Amino acid sequence: MNLGNCNTSNEAVKSWVQEMVHLCQPDQVHWCDGSEAEKQLLTAEAVKSGVLVELNQQKWPGCYYHRSNPNDVARVEQCTFICTPTKDDAGLTNNWCDPDEMYVKLHDLARGAMKGRTMYVIPYLMGPPGSKLAKVGIELTDSIYVVLNMRIMTRMGLPAYEHLGLRRDFNRGLHCLLDLNPDRRFIAHFPKDNTIISVGSGYGGNVLLGKKCLALRIGSYLARQEGWLAEHMLILGVESPEGEKTFVAAAFPSACGKTNFAMMVPPKHFAGWKVWTVGDDIAWMKPGADGRLYAINPEAGYFGVVPGTNTKSNPNAMHMIRRDTIFTNVGLTADGDVWWEGMDGPPPGECLDWRGEKWTPASKEKCAHPNSRFTTPMQNNPAMAPEVEDPNGVPISAIIFGGRRATTLPLVFQAFNWIHGVYVGAMMGSEMTAAAVGGRGQVRRDPMAMLPFCGYNMGDYFRHWIRMRKHLRHIPRIFAVNWFRKDKDGNFLWPGFSDNMRVLKWIIDRCNGRAGAEETPLGWVPRAGDFDLAGMENFSAEQLDEAQTISVDEWKKEILEENELMFHLHDSMPKELIFQRELLVARL
């Protein structure tokens, strides 16, 4: 079979591609180089074949539009597998399948699957070039959409080959679209082999294999072996008017506010303060020689939730998606404009919705799918932190765990210490969102926002977190937040978005020993005088109190709901966390 114009001298890469070409039998093999010329060529091809629609280039320079299959619009957790040698290695929070069995099943599906099609070979680097934490993957795919998205989301092409050299330790990722039949949709991970096979989907986290599959599921597995953390966290830097920069990492479940928080613009009252984005979804963190925890963002772009994005909620995002962006599953007007719920200005009189059906403001259906996304290079973000390219990463002073909770969880509190913080993160509950298929709105335990992304046994993952403490001399402080608490009429109690700066300010002041707090059964909470509400319209100290209420009855119920996870992990739950639960019960 013709391997095409192969652009690497790495024999391990070549022989694996050869093997997969033999399996999938594409008509052609295209070795991606990540160049601008290649981007133009592939974009033109994608427009010609209808995979992309060119948007109005005056209004949206370099922007294109894509619709995925209506049955294929989010991650599919029920079809996601961790194929470790034993079921116990994957743990009860993951779907498991024997690796040999899964290889046979998926190789059968992939056999001949690229006949009449092109196989694209995508070399990509996760992390800044030269970083000890950076990792190389090769993704083979028959989707031109995947190539164009991976080009934005990763450092694709030469930097990957340069980082890899002649080594063999790259992630092997195979992706076949097949016929997009949900019955033949599998996202399978083989952590021991550093291998991923994804078939039957063309959407987001299922197929951009550098993201959730490598950076989190395989990443977390490698991280435990190698002594670091792979987390579903944004990374941001807060700069004070005096120029002091404090870096923070925050884990919120999917569609619970990471992108918005990571590029927040502080309210007027915080003149001179600036928030810098290092990453909006994934953090790889490792203790440095100085005993601090250093974080890199392995990604190079953002795959962000579109609905709700406007110049008020996220002005930086509105600015950055104005060019070089791929929009997936939003509304499309006849003159090449896009629309989504929560965009600035009035809706168009008529357009096509995310399915391609006629939509008007009177329609009952949503115009944009709730999990519609933009893919945009991080260089477009006016708030991008220059440190994002630093191979050493940024030192983390605070770790924040968040949930989407209409009740129970207060706006903010600080954990008493590292182990207590690990317990708070481990027991975090959150309402399920449109980012994954099924269960929307139901509260479930989502430990560290990693339930769908941990590549091994969750109990061992908690133990790994507890153990990290020993490798740190400057321990990040741990906090919990909830932007989504509601009053009895169903309105959000906290305005959120830019006002989250007030919470962030208290957090960094706590880290730098400058803010007071009151001890409660849950942890340390800001007292009225510790929390800056100045310049807020229509928001009173009483409303803050309501958002901060700790109800013993609600927490009794919460602790019982934690049992679901406790039972699931009964064999592997570290006793330190069981003890933390006893202490919480006693304090309440």
DSSP readout, 77-130?
A: GGGEEE--SSHHHH-TTSEE--HHHHHHHHHHHHTTTTTTSEEEEEEEEESSTT
Nearer to ligand SPV, 99 or 127 (CB): 127
Radius of gyration of the chain (CA): 23
Cβ count within 10 A of residue 405: 21
Q: Give the nearest distance from C-beta 211 to ligand SPV in angstroms.
A: 5
Q: Which does 173 bind (CB under 5 to 8 A by kind): Mn ion, ligand GTP, ligand SPV, none?
A: none
Binding mask 29-48 for ligand GTP (x = CB under 6 A): --------------------
Residues in binding contact with ligand GTP, number by CB under 6 A: 22
Q: Taking CB under 6 A as the rule, does residue 505 contact ligand SPV?
A: no
| DSSP β-ladder status, 80-82 and 186-190 | parallel
Reduced 3-state DSSP string for 359-422: ECCCCCCCCCCCCCEEEEEHHHCCCECHHHHCCCCEEEEEEEEECCCCCCCCCEEECCCHHHHH
Q: Is 54 buried (19+), middle (13-18) or exposed (0-12) by CB count in 10 A?
A: middle
For ligand SPV, what does the binding mask look like between residues 85 and 114, x meaning CB under 6 A?
------------------------------
Instruction: List the beta bridge partners of residue 398.
Output: 248, 477
| Cα distance between residue 211 and residue 213, in whole Å | 6
C-alpha angle 347-350-353 in degrees, rounded to nearest 5 = 85
Q: Is 492 in the site for ligand GTP (CB under 6 A)?
A: yes
Span 292-311, contacts to ligand SPV by CB under 6 A:
303
Amino acid at 200: G
Between 142 and 281, name the residue whose CB sits nearer to ligand SPV.
Answer: 281
Sites for ligand GTP among residues 130-159 (CB under 6 A): none
Q: Which residue is nearest to ligand GTP (CB)?
A: 496
Ordered DSSP codes for 201-241: --SHHHH-TIIIIIIIIIHHHHHHHHT-EEES-EEEEEE-T
CB 373, min distance to ligand SPV, A? 7
- Binding to ligand GTP in span 311-330, by CB under 6 A: 313
Q: Is 211 in the site for ligand SPV (CB under 6 A)?
A: yes
Site membership for ligand SPV, residue 435 (CB under 6 A)? yes
| 89 vs 281 by CB, closer to Mn ion | 281
Which H or E element spans position 430?
Answer: strand 429-431
Catalytic positions, written as ranges:
256
Q: Shortest gap between Cβ of 307 and ligand GTP (angstroms)?
A: 5
Site string for ligand GTP, 469-488 (x = CB under 6 A): --------------xx----
Q: Are the beta carbons of 463 and 423 closer than 8 angstroms? A: no
Which of 205/429 has CB closer to ligand SPV? 205
Beta bridge partners of 284: 230, 296
Taking residues 262 to 291 in sequence order and writing x for each that binds ligand SPV by CB under 6 A, - otherwise, the string is -------------------x----------
If the CB atoms of residues 68 and 548 are measured against Mn ion, the closer one turns out to be 68
* Near ligand SPV by CB under 6 A: residue from 68, 220, 254, 309: 254
* 259 binds ligand GTP per the rule CB under 6 A: yes
180 vs 206, 331, 542, CA distance in Å? 12, 22, 52
Which residues form the interface with ligand GTP (CB under 6 A)? 252, 254-260, 280-281, 304-305, 307-308, 313, 435, 483-484, 492, 496-497, 500
Contacts with Mn ion by CB under 5 A lie at 254, 281
* Binding interface with ligand SPV (CB under 6 A): 75, 204-205, 211-212, 254, 281, 303, 435
